[in-house]
């Protein structure tokens, strides 16, 4: 993670209304982790859609809780999308955050994703 950005300002500018409300309820010591959880999840989802920032970040909700397992909560105008996607965090160590969005082709199939990193 880079040095702490002005998380509240970025949340107000880019996050959805529901995410803004959730962020405002946090204690100050929770804000940085919540911001990075939300930002990396949003980034993973728009990249997986193949649209990048052409898909507005405020058109979908992700959980800001770093502990949530499946973090996609809502896609505006397309409620079925929540069940079509898996949005998970990838553990990289205490100073890093990453998330992976995967379109589920068959929701009856258990997920098995293995990620290997090399230094």
Q: What is the mean pLDDT of residues 32-48?
A: 95
Is the model more confident about 35 or about 5?
35
Find the mean pLDDT for residues 64-85.
Answer: 91
- Identify any residues that bridge with 50 across adjacent strands, giving them in sequence order: none
| pLDDT more than 90, % of the chain | 66
Going along the chain from its start, the domains and CATH numbers come out as: 7-103 (3.90.470.20)
Predicted local distance difference test score (pLDDT) of residue 82: 93
What span, in angstroms and rounded, lies between the C-alpha atoms of 74 and 57?
12
Is residue 119 over pLDDT 70? Answer: no
Residue 3 has pLDDT above 60, yes or no: no
What's the pLDDT score for residue 63? 96
**Rounded CA gap, 5 and 36, in Å?**
10
Residue 4 has a pLDDT of: 54
| pLDDT (0 to 100) of residue 102 | 92
């Amino acid at each position: 993670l880079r040095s702490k950005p002005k998380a509240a300002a970025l949340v107000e500018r880019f996050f959805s209304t529901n995410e803004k409300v959730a962020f405002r309820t946090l204690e100050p010591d929770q804000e940085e982790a919540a911001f990075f959880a939300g930002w990396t999840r949003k980034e993973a989802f728009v990249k997986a859609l193949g649209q990048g920032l052409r898909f507005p970040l405020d058109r979908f909700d992700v959980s800001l809780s770093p502990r949530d397992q499946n973090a996609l909560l809502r896609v505006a105008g397309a409620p079925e999308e929540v069940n079509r996607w898996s949005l998970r965090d990838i553990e990289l160590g205490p100073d890093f955050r990453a998330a992976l969005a995967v379109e589920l082709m068959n929701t009856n199939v258990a997920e098995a994703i293995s990620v290997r990193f090399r230094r």
